[in-house]
């Protein structure tokens, strides 16, 4: 890839999935070739992102300016460290997820596979657009594209439940973005005269404490993909989608695009110092804390495995918001780390859930007695994912939490400290029983699970890979850690 300049790589990264989406339908009749196109596209994307990693680590900021739509509205990309981190995680996991998809979609004889892969590619392209956006307009454009491209995936089954869920999904995500996010962008433009993301922000000294508070609230709730309560309903509803969609999009790309946008706006639109000076920490902490705890409490009571995972995601997403709310540099590094580590671990858990469904048609927690002996790889990976959710070493989930906790201590934000501790207990409360059940309860004499073996090999390969990644990141966190530090200018 050395032949292409870093700026060119940015364009390649954003364009590749869209090109892939155009090519996939050509091979509608030949599934093997069609999936080969998906894998090839994912590989090209990952290599392009990887190619731009070196320059970013060296302090470069590759960029590509496409077109100026109107004064203040420029379609342009610029790779910041945080965007690099997000893109790296999403593009790497897309490869794994595509392998998994092949096993899952074929194993379950899902209909409409061509449009599934097309929408997936468009969603990933949109994710890249969000990650590399140079300004709020570009971010908003791809944010909406991400909503629209994932909608067909949510309603993939086309039954009444799926359509109802899709309606909620679209209404909440588009609604919040149009009614809250867009006015926030307009107000930012009116106040700052630009929409560019800049280190230190663009609003310093340009707005009063109250204005900044309102604006931040508009962003926080307008970016509905971050699933901050009470605007989180779309996420559990979206679980009707096929599991690979829940895994990559509703544990990684879509929701992380949400919290990524919140971190980016906090750091590069408001500026952390501005937010701290204007005393925005307390209420932001309270909102994040409420979501972290309330979502965990709801998760405790869910018997459906995917719904439990979804509420866990809602809770974990607000960790990132909490990391921002603490407004200490170290907690922001933690927030950025958490975006990456939670992605790798949560996708593992969803992979495992999909594996259980494919191999044994198990969907409820209460059905999992003894399944660990039939499906050791699946449940082993699930156990590692669970540890990461709780935040225990040797999994990567520990890192982000630890950094946020340090930040909360430094700034004497005792509410945040309490929430992190309490939620760790809650996380253990709804993940460990699943692991216990699977390995230490006897298999029921009858039922689906009795004859089950492991799921098809692509599924097992994928979930093993991400589980391994979850551990590997604990021992080798250099790249995400460096990028997170670069974000705050260290």
Partner 1 sequence: MIVENLAALQVVVPLIAAPLIVLVRRGAFAWAMAMAASAASLAIAVALLLQVRDVGVISYAFGSWAPPWGIEYRVDVLNAFVLVLVSAIGAVMVPFARRSVAFEVQDWRQAWFYCMYLLCLAGLLGIAITGDAFNAFVFLEISSLSTYVLIALGPDRRALLAAFQYLIMGTIGATFYVIGIGLLYLLTGTLNMVDMADRLPQAWPSQAQTVVAALAFVTVGVSLKLALFPLHVWLPNAYAYAPSWVTAFLSATATKVAIYLLIRFYFSVFGVAIDVNALPISEIIIALSLAAMFIASAIAVFETNVKRMLAYSSVAQIGYITLGIGLANQAGLTGGLVHIVNHALMKAALFLALGAIFLRAGTVTLDGLAGIGRRMPLTMAAFTIAGFGLVGTPGTAGFVSKWYLAVGALDKGWWVLVFLIVASSLITFIYVGRVLEVAYLREPAPEIAQADDPPLTMLLPLLALAAAIVYFGFETQWTAGIASTAAKVLVEGLR
Q: Which backbone phi and psi does 413 adopt, to 5 degrees?
A: -90, 80
Six-digit token string for 449: 């699970």
Nearer to partner 1, 49 or 195 (CB): 195
Specify whether the CB–CB gap between 224 and 216 falls below 8 A: no
* H or E element in which residue 54 lies: helix 31-57
Nearer to partner 1, 3 or 67 (CB): 67
Binding residues for partner 1, per CB under 8 A? 66-67, 69-70, 72-73, 75, 137, 140-141, 144-145, 148, 155, 158, 163, 167, 170, 174-175, 178-179, 182-183, 186-187, 189-190
- In 47-205, the DSSP E strands lie at 63-70, 73-78
Nearer to partner 1, 213 or 433 (CB): 213
Nearer to partner 1, 30 or 158 (CB): 158
Give me the least distance between CB of 54 and partner 1, in Å please.
31
Nearer to partner 1, 261 or 299 (CB): 261
> What secondary structure, in 3-state letters, does 399-424 show?
HHHHHHHHHHHHCCCHHHHHHHHHHH
Of 384, 385, 347, 379, whose CA–CA distance to 453 is shortest?
379
User: How far is residue 157's CA from residue 411's CA, in Å, rounded to a whole number?
Assistant: 48
Residues 6 or more apart whose CB falls under 8 angstroms from that of 32 comprise none
Nearer to partner 1, 126 or 341 (CB): 126
Q: Which backbone phi and psi does 380 adopt, to 5 degrees?
A: -60, -45
Give SS3 for 152. Answer: helix
Nearer to partner 1, 174 or 392 (CB): 174
Between the alpha carbon of residue 31 and those of residues 35, 244, 430, 458, the distances in Å are 6, 17, 39, 15
Nearer to partner 1, 34 or 156 (CB): 156
Q: Which backbone phi and psi does 427 adopt, to 5 degrees?
A: -55, -45
Nearer to partner 1, 92 or 146 (CB): 146
Give me the least distance between CB of 140 and partner 1, in Å please.
6
Between the alpha carbon of residue 340 and those of residues 159, 229, 397, the distances in Å are 34, 22, 9
Give me the least distance between CB of 189 and partner 1, in Å please.
7
CB burial string 302-312: b at 16+ within 10 A, e below: beebbbbbbbb
Nearer to partner 1, 75 or 252 (CB): 75
Give me the least distance between CB of 187 and partner 1, in Å please.
7
Give me the least distance between CB of 329 and partner 1, in Å please.
33
User: How far is residue 444's CA from residue 150's CA, in Å, rounded to a whole number?
Assistant: 38
User: How far is residue 258's CA from residue 248's CA, in Å, rounded to a whole number?
Assistant: 14
Give me the least distance between CB of 265 and partner 1, in Å please.
17
Give me the least distance between CB of 454 and partner 1, in Å please.
36
Give me the least distance between CB of 163 and partner 1, in Å please.
6
Nearer to partner 1, 141 or 336 (CB): 141
Specify whether the CB–CB gap between 357 and 363 falls below 8 A: yes
Q: How far apart are the first and last CA of the chain?
A: 29
Give me the least distance between CB of 131 and partner 1, in Å please.
17
User: Locate tokens 């204007």: which residue?
Assistant: 278
Give me the least distance between CB of 158 and partner 1, in Å please.
7
Residues 6 or more apart whose CB falls under 8 angstroms from that of 200 comprise 268, 271, 273
Nearer to partner 1, 174 or 432 (CB): 174
Six-digit token string for 40: 């090839």
CB burial string 234-250: b at 16+ within 10 A, e below: bbbbbbbbbbbbbbbbb
Residues 6 or more apart whose CB falls under 8 angstroms from that of 476 comprise none
């Amino acid at each position: 890839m050395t032949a292409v300049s870093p700026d060119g790589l940015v364009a390649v990264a954003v364009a590749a999935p869209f090109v892939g989406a155009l090519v996939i339908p050509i091979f509608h009749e030949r599934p093997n070739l069609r999936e080969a196109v998906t894998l090839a596209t994912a590989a090209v994307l990952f290599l392009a992102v990887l190619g731009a990693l070196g320059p970013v680590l060296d302090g470069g900021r590759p960029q590509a300016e496409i077109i100026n739509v109107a004064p203040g509205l420029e379609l342009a990309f610029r790779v910041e460290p945080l965007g690099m981190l997000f893109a790296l995680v999403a593009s790497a996991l897309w490869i794994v997820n595509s392998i998994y998809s092949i096993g899952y979609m074929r194993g379950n004889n899902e209909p409409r596979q061509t449009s599934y892969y097309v929408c997936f590619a468009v969603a990933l392209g949109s994710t890249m657009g969000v990650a590399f956006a140079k300004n709020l307009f570009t971010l908003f454009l791809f944010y909406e594209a991400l909503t629209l491209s994932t909608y067909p995936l949510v309603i993939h089954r086309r039954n009444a439940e799926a359509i109802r869920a899709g309606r909620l999904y679209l209404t909440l995500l588009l609604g919040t973005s149009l009614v809250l996010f867009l006015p926030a962008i307009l107000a930012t433009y009116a106040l700052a005269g630009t929409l560019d993301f800049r280190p230190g922000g663009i609003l310093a000294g340009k707005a009063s404490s109250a204005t900044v508070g309102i604006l931040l609230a508009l962003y926080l709730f307008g970016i509905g993909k971050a699933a901050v309560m009470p605007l989180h309903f779309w996420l559990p509803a979206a679980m009707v989608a096929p599991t690979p969609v829940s895994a990559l999009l509703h544990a990684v790309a879509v929701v992380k695009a949400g919290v990524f946008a919140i971190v980016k706006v906090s750091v590069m639109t408001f500026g952390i110092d501005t937010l701290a000076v204007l005393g925005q920490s307390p209420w932001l902490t309270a909102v994040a804390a409420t979501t972290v705890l309330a979502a965990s409490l709801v998760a405790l009571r869910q018997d459906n495995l995917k719904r439990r995972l979804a509420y866990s995601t809602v809770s974990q997403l607000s960790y990132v918001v909490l990391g921002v709310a603490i407004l200490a540099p170290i907690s922001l590094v933690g927030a950025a780390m958490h975006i990456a580590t939670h992605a790798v671990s949560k996708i593992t858990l969803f992979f495992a859930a999909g594996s259980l469904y494919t191999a044994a048609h198990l969907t409820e927690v209460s059905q999992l007695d003894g399944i660990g002996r039939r499906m050791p790889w699946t449940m082993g990976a699930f156990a590692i994912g669970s540890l990461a959710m709780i935040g225990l070493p040797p999994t990567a989930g520990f890192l982000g939490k630890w950094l946020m906790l340090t930040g909360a201590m430094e700034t004497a934000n005792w509410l945040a400290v309490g929430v992190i501790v309490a939620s760790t207990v809650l996380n253990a409360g709804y993940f460990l029983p699943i692991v216990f059940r699977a390995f230490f309860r006897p298999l029921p004499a009858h039922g689906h699970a009795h004859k089950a073996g492991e799921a098809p090999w692509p599924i097992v390969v994928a979930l093993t890979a991400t589980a391994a990644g979850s551990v590997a990141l604990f021992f080798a966190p250099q790249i995400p850690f460096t990028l997170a530090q670069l974000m705050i200018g260290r």
